Amino acid sequence: MISADQALQIVLENVAPLGVERVAILDALGRVLAEPISSSRDIPGFDNSAMDGYAVHAADVAKASEASPVKLAVVETVGAGQMPTRRVSAGQAVRTMTGAPIAEGADAIIPVERTRGGGDSVEFLASAEKGAFIRPRGEDLRLGESVISAGKTLTPADLGMLASVNRAMVEVIRRPRVAIVATGDELVDVDQPPTGAQVVNSSAYALAGAVREAGAEAVILKVARDDAREIRERLAEAMTFDAVLSTGGVSVGQFDHVKGALDELGMRQLFHGVAQKPGRPLKFGTVGYRPIFGLPGNPVSTLVCFYLYARPALLKMSGRQRVGLPRVNARCGVDIKTSKDLTEFVRVKLKRDADGWLATPTGGQGSGILSSLSRADGLLIGPSTEAILRAGAQATVLLLGADGGMGAVTADELFEGRNHSQ
């Protein structure tokens, strides 16, 4: 067996970003940009008002105050989307709405809150510096300026920037299509109550959710029974996808036919067995450019191996630079037994106190106890050199969950500057 670190290194050395596709910007959220974007014009394209108010000569209101207001004639009203038709001369003002262009001759905006009256004339109760409340042309972007660099994972703000420079379509790295192949006579689908020795094919649905969470496309293929021919046919079908995740059949039992089927399909095996718990029987190799993960059949082992190895591979194939799970340092809340000579990934709940994060196991750590993974905020890394981590000992926890999980805050905490995730 190889170490968990060695396994991840091998996986990442054998995957690469996929090709480029052109998509509508609403489909580009979370995708990696494959082309540099530059601005085709100044944004904004004209000086405009940052407030509802009046465009004036700053010199005309230099001595204005509440005790000594200055009255000016209002010669026009300009709303957003309209162009001024009058020039502002000495002693004049133009009523100007937020976002509206600044009339020629004006050099400042006085907010309406600093005025009194209205109609054909208005009293100004405060002075203004030149340029006050004016958003100048090109304040956001200049013609030819870089907007977004290639390689960036696109955010909602990025979509807004693309729209602002009239990019309705954009080139991004293609996201992987992933085939999920579950094997086993005992498996029934989610809409079929199990009887006798049957179990529901929960691993396939957990994997599909994890694949989608990683930004890839998941397709669950029909379950392959414990028959060498059927398993080979299903895996051959999976070879039309960018990556393959199979579950079960990778040990050395009488009905474990996955290895033989993959050998027949030309898989180059890169490792089989990792010194970790859960997930020791993990198998990895490639068929052409296509990564093949032979995941263990137990649902916790399946999902933990996905998070540790398949997820980083899919993110790299999607063009991402940062592919690992986020992590925090935490104290053990209780004594935690681990498997000496194996790296054990312990399912834990995290709680924040005055001294930082506190990690406590979520319950039984058996590879078939999926509920303990469902309740977990993260996976605590139990070093292979230790048989027990004492309460209070420091450990690294890999965080699970797309929404930040334990790092989220309540509405009451949102602006209080406390309990924010690291």
Among candidate residues 290, 316, 6, the one with its CA nearest the CA of residue 173: 316
Q: What is the mean pLDDT of residues 29-43?
A: 97
Quote the percentage of the chain above a pLDDT of 90: 80
Listed range (122-131, 254-263, 322-331) with the worst mean pLDDT: 254-263
Confidence (pLDDT) at 408: 60
What phi and psi values does residue 47 have, to the nearest 5 degrees? -65, 135
pTM: 0.88
Rounded to the nearest integer, the mean pLDDT of the chain is: 92
Confidence (pLDDT) at 252: 55
Q: What is the mean pLDDT of residues 111-132?
A: 95
Q: What is the mean pLDDT of residues 353-369?
A: 93
- Residue 214's pLDDT band (cuts 50, 70, 90): very high
One-letter identity of residue 106: A
* CA–CA gap between residue 111 and residue 115 (Å, rounded): 7
Q: What is the mean pLDDT of residues 71-96?
A: 97
Per-residue pLDDT of 147-188, as tens digits, reads 999 999 999 999 999 999 999 999 999 999 999 999 888 887
Q: What is the mean pLDDT of residues 119-132?
A: 96
